[in-house]
Amino acid sequence: MADRVCVAQIGAAHGIRGEVRLRSFTEDPMAIASYGPLESEDGTRRFEIEALRPAKDHFVARLAGINDRNAAETLTNLTLYVSRDRLPPAAEGEFYHADLVGLAAVSPDGATLGTVTAVHNFGAGDVIEIKPASGEALLVPFTDAAVPEIDLAAGRMVVVPLTAVE
């Protein structure tokens, strides 16, 4: 999966002509239409965006070959991926979420906290999920104060404990 990045998710069907609601996870949400064919997570289905228009908190998309509501409904909650090489390089200080998953999380003094298992956004900014060797997962805000250092080459990020950030 490291060579592919999740860029969108299909929501509910929109109307009766096969359009779908689409949530884009790209920095420029409209850029989703410029990446070429999007693939299902398992790679067995490919989707070409024929038309895309903004709606209140999502896009409405017409996908090639999806011509009625029944076909659109079968796609609800499908996540869409593109090959990593079709994405622009991350700018200095920016990271693709896929690059962060799997990094070792360590405290400022080097103690192992766990492994990054996901990056979430519940509406108030990105949150890093860290799975320790044992116990409950830790959720840490993805801010410069809480995550002051990321070293992709070394495969680790420094995480300041929340009590120290407050």
Domain boundaries, the chain: 4-86, 97-160
Q: What is the C-alpha to C-alpha distance for residues 87 and 90, in angstroms, rounded to an integer?
A: 9
* Secondary structure element (H or E) that encloses residue 60, with its range: strand 59-63
Q: What is the C-alpha to C-alpha distance for residues 56 and 17, in angstroms, rounded to an integer?
A: 20
pLDDT one-digit tens code per residue, 18-73: 999 999 988 889 999 999 999 999 999 999 999 999 998 899 999 999 999 999 99
Q: Are 149 and 158 in contact (CB under 8 A)?
A: yes
| Average pLDDT, integer, range 129-142 | 92
Q: Is the pLDDT of residue 164 over 70?
A: no
Q: How confident is the model at residue 1 (pLDDT cuts 50, 70, 90)?
A: very low
- Tell me which CATH code domain 4-86 carries: 2.40.30.60
Specify the CATH class of 97-160 in words: mainly beta
